[in-house]
C-alpha cells in the first residue's frame, strides 16, 4: 500500500474525534472533516469541512481522492457506518478505521450490553466483507479499553471526585484495568495510518496505562499533596443497581455496569492486553504513569 496522506474524519468534534483530528493534523496528514447536514458541531479553523447527507451516493462523491477514513461518531451514529463503508470502498479509499474505541470484538461483556455489541459488530463485519471482496480496501479497529483521563474527569462513579478530593474505593481497590489517554487515542490513529501494512484488516490494541484504584488514589493524593476523604463500597452494589435500572428501562444502567465490569474483583476483565501483547509500541503510544494521568485530570478540571 502506498503512503496514506489524505484522511477524512467523521465525528471530528466528538470526545475522541477531537484528539484524533488534532493528532492527525499535527502528524502532517491532509485532513478533511465530514459532518451531518444539520450538525451543530464546531471545528478547528483551517480544516476543510464537508456537510453531507449520509447516503452512499453523497458520501462516495465526498470521499473522492481520500486515502483513509477515520470513523469516530458517537453511539447514536454507529448504524450510519455501513453507508460510510460502502461509499469509502466505492471511492477507492484504502483504509477505513472503523468505530470501536472500546474493548474490541473479543470482550466478555455482561449480557445487558449484547444488543449494543450486535449493532457495532454489524459494521465491523461489513468492513471485513468489503476487504475480502476488494483487497485494495482495508480496515482497522482501534480498541482503547478505558479512556482513562477522559473518564476519570467525567465519571465520579469511577471512584474519584476530583472537585471534592474524595474517593470511593470498590472492594480492595486492587482490580487492574488498562486504559488509553486522549493523547494515546490520537497517537493510535496516527500510528495505524503510518503502519498500514502491519495494521491491515484487524483490531489493534492500544494502551497508555495499566493501573488500579489504589494506585490512582495514591497518585491523586501525592499530586494534590492532600489526604483524600475515602469511602469504601462493594462494586456488587453497582451490578445490582445497574441491572435494576436496566430491567425498569431507566437511564444510568450503562455507567453502573461499565464501572462494575471495570472493577469486578478477580476477573481482569478490563485488562485489554499487556504492554508486550498490545500494539502500543507499533503505534507509538507511550506508557504513562498513574501520576501522569492524574496530573492531566487535575489540570483539565482546573481550567
- Per CB under 6 A, residues contacting ligand NAP are 11-17, 35-36, 39, 41, 72-77, 80, 99, 101-102, 144, 146-147
d(Cα 91, Cα 93) in Å, to the nearest integer?
6
Kindly report the three-state secondary structure assignment for every residue of 233-263: ECCHHHHHHHHHHHHHCCCCHHHHHHHHHHH
Distance in Å, CB of 56 to ligand NAP, minimum: 15
Task: Closer to ligand NAP by CB, 36 or 295: give it.
Answer: 36
- In terms of CB distance, is 36 or 58 closer to ligand NAP? 36
Q: How far is the CB of 123 from ligand NAP (least distance, A)?
A: 10
Nearest distance from C-beta of residue 102 to ligand NAP, angstroms: 4
132 exposure class (CB count in 10 Å sphere: 0-12, 13-18, 19+)? exposed
d(CA 199, CA 184): 16
| 6 versus 36: smaller Cβ distance to ligand NAP | 36
- Residue 167 C-beta: closest distance to ligand NAP, Å: 20
Please say which residue, 134 or 192, places its beta carbon nearer to ligand NAP.
Answer: 192
Q: Phi and psi dihedrals of 174, rounded to 5? A: -105, -5
Work out whether the CA dihedral 288, 285, 25, 47 comes out positive or negative.
Answer: negative
Quote the Cα angle for 295-164-207, to 5°.
35
* Closer to ligand NAP by Cβ: residue 144 or 152: 144
Amino acid at each position: 500500500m502506498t503512503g496514506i496522506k489524505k484522511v477524512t474524519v467523521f465525528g471530528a468534534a466528538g470526545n475522541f474525534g477531537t484528539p484524533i483530528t488534532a493528532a492527525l493534523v499535527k502528524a502532517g496528514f491532509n485532513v478533511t472533516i465530514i459532518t451531518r447536514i444539520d450538525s451543530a458541531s464546531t471545528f478547528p479553523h483551517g480544516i476543510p469541512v464537508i456537510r453531507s447527507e449520509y447516503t452512499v451516493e453523497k458520501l462516495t462523491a465526498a470521499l473522492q481522492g481520500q486515502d483513509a477514513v477515520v470513523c469516530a461518531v458517537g453511539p447514536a451514529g454507529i448504524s450510519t457506518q455501513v453507508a460510510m463503508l460502502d461509499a469509502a470502498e466505492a471511492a477507492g479509499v484504502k483504509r477505513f478505521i472503523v468505530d470501536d474505541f472500546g474493548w474490541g470484538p473479543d470482550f466478555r461483556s455482561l449480557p445487558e450490553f449484547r444488543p449494543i455489541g450486535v449493532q457495532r459488530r454489524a459494521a465491523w463485519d461489513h468492513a471485513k466483507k468489503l476487504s475480502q471482496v476488494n483487497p485494495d480496501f482495508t480496515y482497522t479497529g482501534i480498541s482503547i479499553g478505558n479512556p482513562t483521563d477522559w473518564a476519570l474527569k467525567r465519571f465520579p462513579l469511577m471512584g474519584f471526585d476530583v472537585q471534592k478530593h474524595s474517593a470511593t474505593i470498590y472492594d480492595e481497590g486492587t482490580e487492574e484495568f488498562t486504559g488509553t489517554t486522549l493523547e494515546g487515542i490520537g497517537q493510535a490513529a496516527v500510528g495505524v495510518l503510518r503502519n498500514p501494512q502491519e495494521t491491515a484488516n484487524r483490531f489493534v490494541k492500544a494502551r497508555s496505562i495499566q493501573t488500579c484504584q489504589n494506585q490512582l488514589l495514591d497518585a491523586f493524593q501525592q499530586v494534590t499533596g492532600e489526604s483524600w476523604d475515602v469511602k469504601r463500597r462493594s462494586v456488587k452494589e453497582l451490578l445490582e443497581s445497574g441491572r435494576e435500572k436496566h430491567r425498569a428501562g431507566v437511564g444510568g444502567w450503562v455507567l453502573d455496569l461499565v464501572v462494575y465490569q471495570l472493577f469486578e474483583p478477580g476477573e481482569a476483565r478490563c485488562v485489554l492486553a499487556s504492554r508486550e501483547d498490545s500494539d502500543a509500541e507499533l503505534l507509538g503510544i507511550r506508557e504513562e504513569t498513574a501520576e501522569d494521568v492524574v496530573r492531566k485530570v487535575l489540570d483539565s478540571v482546573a481550567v
